[in-house]
A and B are shown apart, each in its own frame.
Chain A
Amino acid sequence: MNSTRTEFSDERKQRLERLKAPEWDRPAVGLMLRYAWRNSLDTFATHDRPLTWLEVFPENYFRRGGARLANLLKLAEDFPITSHGVHLSVAGDALDDAYIDELAQFLEVIDAPWASDHLGVSVHKKKLLHEILPAVRSRESLARLSERLDLLRARMPCEFCLENAAYYMTPPGCTLSELEFLIQLIENDGLKLIFDVNNLWVNACNHDYDPNEFLAALPKRCVREIHIGGFSVDSQTGLFIDSHSAMPSPPVWHLLELALKRFGPVPVLLEIERDDVAPRGIRRALGRIYDTFEQARPS
């Protein structure tokens, strides 16, 4: 990896200040970067509703050279970039030392304010699963996660967070509910969440619980960043799927408002995993995030 330190612009410094200390009248609104969008970012925002930061899947960049990494580093001159991985497999059978080293190096190069992955299993016996399977929610698993969070804190150059992943089955051996499991990690291990409101909705629908009660039970200061995206419905099983293939739906927008009321003006990131979305569609969705900050703002 090209380890040349990026020269940061004044714009980037201002954006970073906003990202690190967002306020109700100065929210931080970000976008999960699709590589195809790298030259269109100006069209996604307006002067009074700017794009504050970008997030990337590190696995698409950190073992690359060439144009892909170079173009990301160019964007990093003007935008703070956070990392949202899928291959850490924090709840799996073992962590991969080489992966952690490479990720840490990548985070240094982009000067990431924080990084995250999913609370799940994506690698097993050194094989990629190509999906994120759910963590087994048990006391034993909590103890293992606690050790791993300590290890990650020691080896990452920035704060490390986990996302409440979507899950479509409850693995055998679970003795704790999703909420109990998360609260234990937050209260005992100081876990900061990437709180995905679309995942909250999808999980609530698939596992039949009240998302409002779930949200209200989470500690107030546990969220580093909120994710919002769209879901789809699997025609074969009827499961709600965290596919990011559509714009967020009305109940998910409502959960964003509730989450902002509960957690305060934390940074909010839009996740759309489609290259064919028109810029005005992205601009509208980012604008709606700004609107939701207005709605959630204490009077």
Chain B
Amino acid sequence: MGELDYIDEFVRLCTDAASVEDPALNFYVRAARGRKSGVLRAVFPTFMKRFKAQSKDLAQRYRDTDVSDPDWYRNARELLPIVDAMISTGELPAWSAALAKHEWTLFGVGLTSFDFPEESGSETRLNPSLDAIEYPYDLPRWFESSTPYPEHSPVNIGYYQHAQTLESRWIELTPARLAALRVVMEGLDPTDVAKLLGSDEDTIRTSIDQLKADGLIVENLQQN
């Protein structure tokens, strides 16, 4: 289709950063670049702010990637291999991969419709949207601090849609919370689990109540 050759030229100019002499084409190239950077800022807000010095390079490399998904936000996952590549060359610190993955996963959990108990009529259970990831860096403590980077200390984080608001959320999965989740998942008695884990039964019960309030343990809303 020869008449669309000019689009090929536009795509070429967008990806090789050559100076564009035609003023109108120049505008289109700048506008497209700006939109792609805007997508990264929307999906990876903390990452792009924290690595502001590298943001130009990140955005340029992201612009150079092939679009694997026609959805402009879903395609933002292409930033993850770019971050890995920049870590391998020392352009980004190793912990930056954890932050990028955290922000992508939080965004990604909002992309699916889940079958919550209100619709299924099932009993109390684990929120079906939960996605748990173990990180080698303590992101939760870093978010609360003013330190320049997180400690190298493993942490589990759960991502989910709140069963009623459907808002995307994350929560640190502490040992007490993991025990509470196990009680619900396996239908166990909190007393038995407390004995098994050598932990406090009240702590587990409090965690269950808190996780219900946080929407990570969901109940059949019609029974309430």
- Chain A residues in the interface with B (C-beta under 8 A): 1-2, 59, 63-70, 87, 92-93, 96, 98-99, 121, 123-131, 133, 136, 138, 140-141, 168-169, 171-173, 234, 236-237, 239, 241
Contacts and interface: CB of A to CB of B under 8 A. Distances in A.
B74 interface: yes
B186 interface: no
14 contacts: A59-B71, A63-B74, A66-B112, A67-B167, A93-B4, A98-B70, A124-B11, A127-B11, A129-B32, A130-B31, A131-B28, A133-B10, A136-B3, A172-B5
Contacts of B30: 236
B27 A65 contact: no
Interface stretch (B18-26, B142-150, B206-214): B18-26
Given A127-B11, A169-B22, 10 more contacts: A65-B112, A67-B161, A128-B70, A129-B11, A131-B31, A169-B24, A173-B2, A236-B26, A237-B27, A241-B27
Interface residues of B, number: 43
B36 interface: yes
A241 B25 CA distance: 13
A133 B28 contact: yes
A129 B75 CA distance: 13
Interface of B: 1-8, 10-11, 14, 22-28, 30-33, 35-36, 66-67, 70-72, 74-75, 109-114, 161-162, 165-168
Contacts of B23: 236-237, 239
Nearest to B109: A66
A128 B72 contact: yes
Contacts of B72: 59, 87, 128, 130
A93 B3 CA distance: 10
Contacts of A87: 70, 72
A234 B31 CA distance: 10
A67 B113 contact: no
A126 B72 CA distance: 12
A63 B111 contact: yes
A96 to B, nearest CB: 6
A171 B25 CA distance: 10
A128 B67 contact: yes
A168 B24 CA distance: 6
A236 B178 CA distance: 56
Given A129-B10, A136-B4, A169 B25 contact: yes
Among B14, B24, B167, chain A packs the most CB atoms within 10 A around the CB of B24
Say whether chain B's binding surface is mostly helix, strand, loop, or mixed. Answer: helix
Given A87-B70, A237-B26, A67 B3 contact: no
B113 A2 contact: yes
A96 B2 CA distance: 20
Given A127-B66, A131-B35, A66 B113 contact: yes
Nearest to B110: A66
A65 B115 CA distance: 11
Contact of B111 (A64, A125, A136, A171): A64
Contact of B6 (A171, A237, A241): A171
Contacts of B7: 92-93, 121, 124, 129, 133
A136 B2 CA distance: 11
A168 B20 CA distance: 15
B79 to A, nearest CB: 15
A115 B113 CA distance: 24
A42 B162 CA distance: 26
B111 A130 contact: no
B27 A172 contact: no
Nearest to B10: A133
A173 B2 CA distance: 9
Contacts of B2: 173
A94 to B, nearest CB: 9
Contact of A239 (B6, B27, B166): B27
B113 A65 contact: yes
A152 B7 CA distance: 23
Among A59, A65, A126, A168, chain B packs the most CB atoms within 10 A around the CB of A65
